[in-house]
Amino acid sequence: MIRKVQVGIIGAGPAGLLLAHLLRRQGIESVIIESRSRDAIEGTIRAGVLEQWFVDLLGELGLADRLHREADVHDGISLRFNRTNHHIDVAGLTGGQRVTVYAQHEIITDLVGALTELQHEIHFEVSEVSLHDLESGRPSVKFRTKEGQDCELQCDFIAGCDGFHGPSRTSIPAAKLRCFEKVYPFGWLGILCNAPRSCSEVVYARHDHGFALASTRTPTIQRLYVQCDPHDPLSDWSDDRVWSELHQRLATDDGWTLAEGPIFQKNIVSLRSFVCETMRHGRLFLAGDAAHIVPPTGAKGLNLAAADIVVLARAFTAYYRENREDLIDGYAETCLQRIWRGERFSWYLTTMMHLDEGESDFERRIHLADLDYLMSSTAAQHALAENYVGLPLQR
């Protein structure tokens, strides 16, 4: 089956789904293909800290009703070291900007549900995806549906929103890829547990045993992380060991206590920083994790992906409505300025808060000096808060 469409979107993560919504609003037709099932993308639990402009955009699209009912809105964050908690008044330092905690899979559920109601064309559980004729005026995407039918999308443009391991970036000739990467020597062990809230905002802790983070999902479900070796077998981390490390790393001298509860999910993830500056190749445009990865410390991954999509949707709209190609030509350059700033902030917060066994004692003292300076300088706190809530995005 051959299907002609203006924009073919590979990937039904937040980036691809948001792009479909933005294009629909401008009357631009798109088709989404996704290798996973709908249940799988809606059931993969991932964190979500949303910058205010992103929340506002979802509201403008009529997609934020459940978010406003169920999300947590935080005025600040806490940094913990030397058994002392330090509150950063993010809202006060940024003129009232706040951060919204709303898990990524919940955003996906909302976006998919709205597109389904609109009868938007989405193909789940596709296989054998391949991209063709990307440097021509009519690129195409071939795939096989879950029913076994071979299909081809003939497109004006292809948006590669298929993540770090998807086929879009690998379809660009290796000689034309310009990529930069840092793989960190540590990972995160994350748990979800049934427990009451121990904190009212996200807590980042630096400890001699390594980093820890405490955050909340709902009043009864909490998300916590401890730094670990990314190659650790999960079996090495019993529930008792996880709780013991969390208690030690998050402990303070002011009487604060961590509430425990049954752990119902446990996983280990590695951390990396990655940027592919080749965000455009012919009629293929990379967005989100297909083009860049940040460690989760700075809470920038989802927001950077959404920012890419705003820029890309604006470029496609200018092409179809005004016959302009300047925004298409400037897509990568426009996105990369924000991406590298997000990468810098994520690297800064990650290296400052984590224990790196490969670092010297001198470097560790420097990180503690960074934290000491941050707590004593309003200007330093303002810079951190400004980056945390998100730099302005022209929409």
Query: In the annotation, is 74 catalytic?
Result: yes
Instruction: Indicate whether 136 belongs to any domain.
Output: yes
Going by C-alpha positions, the residue among 135, 146, 138, 129 that lies closest to residue 290 is 129
- Please write the tens of the pLDDT for every residue from 290-338: 999 999 999 999 999 999 999 999 999 999 999 999 999 999 999 999 9
Among 120, 281, 300, 354, which one carries the catalytic annotation? 300
Is residue 309 one of the residues assigned to a domain? yes
User: pLDDT tens digits for 159-213?
Assistant: 999 999 999 999 999 999 999 999 999 999 999 999 999 998 999 999 999 999 9
Output the pLDDT for position 258.
96
Element (H, E) at 324: none
pLDDT of 103 strictly over 90: no
Q: How far apart are CA 183 and CA 194, in angstroms?
A: 32
Question: Pick the catalytic residue: 204, 225, 319, 331?
Answer: 204
Asked whether residue 370 is assigned to any structural domain, the reply reads no
Main-chain phi, psi angles of 28, to 5 degrees? -100, 125
**Average pLDDT over all residues of the chain:** 95
User: Residues 339-385: pLDDT tens digits?
Assistant: 999 999 999 999 999 999 999 999 999 999 999 999 999 999 999 99
Distance of alpha carbon 178 from alpha carbon 170, whole angstroms = 12
Which position has the token pair 């190749």?
281
239 occurs within a structural domain: no
Q: End-to-end CA distance of the chain: give it in Å, rounded.
A: 37
Q: What's the chain's length in residues?
A: 395
Evaluate if residue 105 carries a pLDDT over 80.
Answer: yes
Dist. CA 295–CA 129, nearest whole Å: 28
Whether 204 is catalytic is yes
pLDDT in tens, 4-29: 999 999 999 999 999 999 999 999 99
Ramachandran class of 62: left when φ > 0, alpha when ψ lies in -120 to 50, beta otherwise: left
Enumerate residues 6+ apart whose C-beta is below 8 A from 135: 281, 282, 283
**CA-closest candidate to residue 316, choices 22, 11, 57:** 22
> DSSP 3-state assignment of 48?
coil
Query: Which of 14, 139, 295, 296 does the annotation list as catalytic?
Result: 296
Known catalytic residue at 247: no
Q: Is the pLDDT of residue 155 over 90?
A: yes
Give the chain's largest Cα–Cα span: 66
Residues 6+ apart with CB under 8 A from 392: 53
* Catalytic, out of 74, 281, 292, 367: 74
The residue segments making up the domain with residue 313 are: 2-74+99-180+272-356
Is a pLDDT exceeding 80 seen at residue 68? yes
- Residues with Cβ within 8 Å of 130's Cβ and at least 6 positions away in sequence, in order, are 141, 142, 143, 167, 171
Locate 2 and state its tokens: 């051959």
* Any domain includes 284: yes
Domain count along the chain: 1
Residue 251 lies in a domain: no
Assess whether 176 carries a catalytic annotation.
no
Coil, strand or helix at 41: helix
Alpha-carbon separation of residue 131 from 121, 172, 251, 265, 280 (angstroms):
19, 9, 52, 36, 14
Strands (E), 148-259: 150-160, 179-194, 203-205, 212-216, 221-228
* pLDDT value of residue 186: 97
Residue 47 has pLDDT above 90, yes or no: no
Question: Is a pLDDT exceeding 80 seen at residue 394?
Answer: no
Q: CATH number of the domain at 68, please.
A: 3.50.50.60
Residue 388 appears among annotated catalytic residues: yes
The pLDDT of 54-78, averaged and rounded, is 94
Averaged over 27-49, what is the pLDDT?
91
Domain-located, residue 200: no
* pLDDT, position 82: 93
Cα 168 from Cα 378, distance rounded (Å): 44
**In whole angstroms, what is the distance from residue 230 CA to residue 271 CA?**
8
pLDDT of 392 above 90: no
Residue with the two structure tokens 């639990």: 45
Residue 331 in any domain: the answer is yes
Residue 20: its pLDDT value, please? 98
Pairing of strands 221-228, 179-194: antiparallel
Rounded CA separation 130/24 (Å) = 25
Overall pTM > 0.85: yes
Q: What is d(CA 390, CA 368) in angstroms, rounded to the nearest whole number?
A: 25
Q: Note whether 78 and 204 are within 8 A (CB).
A: yes
Give the pLDDT confidence score for residue 395 in this predicted structure: 61
Tokens of 318: 């200018």
pLDDT band at 132 (very low <50, low <70, confident <90, very high): very high
